[in-house]
Structure 1
Amino acid sequence: MKNGHIRVAQVIPAFNMGGAEWMATYLAAHLDSERFESHIISLHPPRQSPLEVYLAQHGAGIHSVYKQKGFDARAYPRLIRLLRQLKPDIVHTHQTVGRYVYPACLLARPKLVAHTIHNVAWGEIGSRFWRRFQGWAYRFGVLPVSIAKEVSRTFQQEYGRESAALIPNGIPTERYTADPAARIAWRRQERLSTEAVLLVCVAGLRPQKNHPLLLRAYAQLGEAAANALLLLVGAPDPTNLVYAESLQQLAQELGIVERVRFLGGRGDVPAILNAADIFVLASHYEGNPLSVMEAMAAGLPPVCTAVGGVPELIQHERTGLLVPPEDEAALAEALHSLIADASLRLQLGQAAREYARTHFDIAVMVQAYERFYLDRLSVLARTPR
């Protein structure tokens, strides 16, 4: 460990290109190197993903436990050895890694263990059993960090306690600078008209994101969307491939298969957003989605269902449009209003970009976590053992 530095280890399930993984990556990459030594641990093997490239570029330590699919008892001794080798002062967990990390921490004994709640509390961990396990971890000292007011509310409902802190997510907004030449080049590369109105949804292909609602609303537009194309960016959920297949089938049944592109998981999301015109997200529930922040930073007007922490990101009719969840007609109407009105797209998109740069920049999130880490370590230092 660097002399006097606080060593922090973020732990994620895998280097997938989801919002929670990117948030942990950004945090690990941007902690102040004058005060912190930053590492990130993936339970699953390396993937040579854009996340790993980003971490390497910023000097963060990258580690893997090489856990196999399903329950893997061998991951416990590997993780314990790694934590004892790294000797982190702080272990910071994300998503569903607690079942492996918290038992390992009993032996590795970091000073502080924190967990970021990346979704509404009842939606973060699907299994009731593992939610009870997570609740046990909170009772025995794991510090929960919420990412939105609505997440805090659902956390209190689910676990009967307050979160230790509320720290909204952030992104490096400079990655989403407008580039007209790159916009045209990307469209030509993908063989898309430079005149088409491109709608883009960046969301993993899993039921939470409610792609069927989006497809049905888009189909409602008919000839009103003749010059539009819908891009679905997101990898299928390997545990639910039927869902992704059902979306392809639904697009065929709705007669829109020629106006929808399934792009899969992509490492060039900033370039896609730069080339698009409208962002749309029709989720059943959300936490504090990075995809919405990224779209706004790229100057796209977002059209989103008003769920979870999304209304905390978008000011309706100022920086984007919010619609009730499950309201197909309202979603179709909002999309039509932006497809038909380029000036409205520009107005909302410019306001979204300015709001993102002043409210969502990565520095705001990282500084809040740094204060949280330091404050909690200070409290522990003053507490008699």
Structure 2
Amino acid sequence: MRVALLIEGVRMSPERGTGTWFDRLAEGLREHDFESYVLAGSGVGAGARGRWLGVHELALRGRRPGGRLPGALRRRQYGRAYEELVRALVMPGERTAFGAGLYRLAALSREDGALPAFLASAHARRTLERAWRSPGADTSAGQPLVCDVLVAADLLEQCLRPLSAPWYGAGPGGLGGADLCHVVGGGPAALPALVAKQMHGVPFVVTEHGLHLREQYLGYRAAPYRWPVRALMLSFFRALTEETYRQAAILTPGSAHDQQWQRRCGADPARTRVVHEGTPAVARAAAGPEPAEPTLVWAGALEPGRDTELMLHAFARVRAELPAARLVVHGEEAVRGYRAHCEAVAERLGVAGAVEFAGRPESTARAWEGATVVVFSALSQHSPRLLADAMLSGRAVVSTDVGVVREVVGPTGLLVPPRDPQALAGACLALLQDEERRARLGLAGRLRAQERFAVEPVIAAFREIYLELVSQWPAFPAAAGGGAGARPRPFARPAEYWLADRRGEGLEGTEGTEAGGDAPEAAADRPGALAEAV
């Protein structure tokens, strides 16, 4: 089958299977044809084709796409659809109108391609300002100023660019000709899938390894915009997420923790399946012998959310019981001045001589090799990647019990409450002083990570999901014909259609067909044709 991968912000590797998660997916499912549609940053190139069926890119930022402004009549139609979408963002009682406004803009753009020019026009800005300042609009973040309208209009134009992408035809390279769409990451990458389903009935799957909406909420804390703009954009992403979850055939979060977040945003539990992110690191050999001195290794970004300070306070307690212990901190400074703050804390606690701030390691595998015990002290943990990587080293793990940690580590590590240096120190001491227990937990953790994060189970899960979808959704939905009211049927083509010589149209004009044999499409309508073929 033909699968359209919709991705935001990632360029394709020259060869399948060499880098990203979806490269490995396409490499494992070679029986399917993958065509990628990438919403890139500011620069758009031809893309690396390699063994991909095709690579298409669209810039989300930078120079706006060209095009002429629509005429007066069309401009009013665009204005009504745009106003409906904006009102859904600012009017609490009109939230459900978001999808209608979105699809109407996509349909108008499909007809004349004037959506980019309209979104950049003064008419669109006036429409946004009128709806944003209308009575009943939610302005709890503050009344929008003229500068807010200008900034928000530019941001919405960038977010809505995928609606005008030249990808919605039913021919080669068009989403209408795909059997299904696979959205990787959510957010604006889901817009083409929503439009393809609305226009052509193409089903889509959504895979999120880290929720796009949650990342937006975290990212807009430090965004260089006034609060009214931030509130409007977060409302847009929330509405887009809800519409995506409502329309998706299947959602595949990367963890049960993410699954709970998706349910809070309206995801149907019956259409949600957890598929862990596979990593080729499962084939990596376990770390070698432990260091001569008892060493705790901490890894992560140096920022308050990772709570390096908690680790330092716990280590001071460990040193009081085990003077030979050392602490190695791996990670780059994510908040300016935080490393200096941590160094000052270590100096004040009297452990500065036993603490090494080693910066970014050459590789995570090298970082774990220097550990007797690996420690995580974060206040939140959304991604399982670093945890799983540490477990694959065969070293015992101690972590605060937050986010995905319990799901990933399970009974193979020691979990402690966050913000509790005494509990963290006790867990570290328990492992540092018990070699047999460290070895047992380290081996159990490695086996658990290999089982849950291998690439093969991920490939098998998506092979099953793809086949399930095409068996339940109409085949060739964009090419459905047969008169008014006719609906395409699942598996509308018989099995022999796929075995025919399609390159040379081997069934056309053959003697067998002239002698009364059914043509491939006609055979699909004859009762029992598939059974006879089998």
Distance 2:276 2:405 in 1: 11
1:99-178 correspondence runs (5 A): 100-105=188-193, 111-119=202-210, 123-126=214-217, 128-129=234-235, 130-141=237-248, 143-159=250-266, 161-162=268-269, 163-178=271-286
Equivalent residue in structure 2 for 1:261, among 357, 360, 363: 357
2:387 aligns with 292
2: CA distance, partners of 1:320 / 1:39: 39
In 1, Cα distance between equivalents of 2:430 and 2:399: 14
Sort the Cα spacing of 1:343 and 1:9 in 2 relative to 1 into closer, same or farther, 3 A.
same
- SS of the equivalent of 1:221 reads helix
Q: Residue 26 of structure 1: CA displacement?
A: 6.1
Give the secondary structure class of the aligned counterpart of 1:313.
helix
The question of 1:348 aligning with 2:441 is answered yes
TM-score (norm 1): 0.72
Aligned to 2:312: 215
Q: Contact 2:182–2:204 (CA<8 Å) still a contact in 1?
A: yes
Q: What is the aligned length?
A: 346
Letter in 2 for 1:231: V
Deviation at 1:330, TM superposition (A): 1.3
Give the aligned partner of residue 230 of structure 2.
none
**Alpha-carbon distance change, 93 to 106 in structure 1, aligned in 2, over 3 angstroms:** closer
Whether contact under 8 Å (2:399, 2:405) holds in the other structure is yes
Q: Conserved in 1, the CA contact under 8 Å of 2:252 and 2:272?
A: yes
CA contact (8 A) 2:314 2:421 kept: yes
8 Å contact kept, 1:225–1:336: no
* Residue identity (%): 19
Equivalent residue for 2:375, pick from 272, 275, 280: 280
Select 2:421's aligned residue among 328, 349, 370. Answer: 328
Residue among 153, 165, 168 paired with 1:80: 165
Larger strand share, 1 or 2 = 1
Give yes or no for contact 2:21–2:277 (8 Å, CA) kept in 1.
no
**SS at 1:213's partner residue?**
helix
Q: Using the alignment, how far apart are the partners of 1:83 and 1:177 within structure 2?
A: 46
Q: Which residue of 2 aligns with 1:203?
A: 300
Name the larger-Rg structure: 2
1:367 aligns with 2:435: no
Alignment partners' CA distance in 2, 1:207 and 1:103? 35
Gaps in structure 2 of 5+ consecutive residues:
12-18, 63-153, 221-233, 478-486, 489-534
1:217-246: CA deviation from partner (whole Å, max 9, x where unpaired): 23433353643232323x555xxx34xx32
Q: Which has the higher contact order (CA 8 A, sep 6+)?
A: 1
Task: Give the direction of change, closer, same or farther, for the CA distance of 1:140–1:231 in structure 2 (3 Å limit).
Answer: same
Structure 1 pair 158/248, CA: closer, same or farther in 2 (3 Å)?
Answer: farther
Residue 137 of structure 1 aligns to which amino acid in structure 2?
T
Matched, 1:7 2:8: no
Displacement of 1:86 after TM fit? 5.0
Q: Is the 8 A contact 2:26 2:34 kept in 1?
A: no
In 1, Cα distance between the equivalents of 2:37 and 2:374?
30
Distance 1:116 1:107, change over 3 A: closer
Structure 1 residues 270 and 369 mapped into 2: Cα distance closer, same or farther (>3 Å)?
Answer: farther
Q: Are the aligned partners of 1:87 and 1:108 in contact in 2 as well (CA < 8 Å)?
A: no
Offset of residue 334 of structure 1:
1.2
Which residue identity lines up with residue 30 of structure 2 in the other structure? S
Q: 1:42 to 1:272 in 2, by over 3 A?
A: farther
Distance in 2 (alpha carbons) for counterparts of 1:277 and 1:156 = 39
Post-superposition offset of 1:349: 0.8
Tell me whether 1:249 sits opposite 2:341 in the alignment.
Answer: yes
- Is this contact kept in 2: 1:176–1:294, CA < 8 A? no
Name the CA distance, whole Å, in 1 between partners of 2:431 and 2:51. 38
Q: Normalization by structure 2: what TM-score? A: 0.54
How far apart, CA to CA, are the structure 1 residues paired with 2:370 and 2:440? 17
CA apart distance, 1:31: 2.9
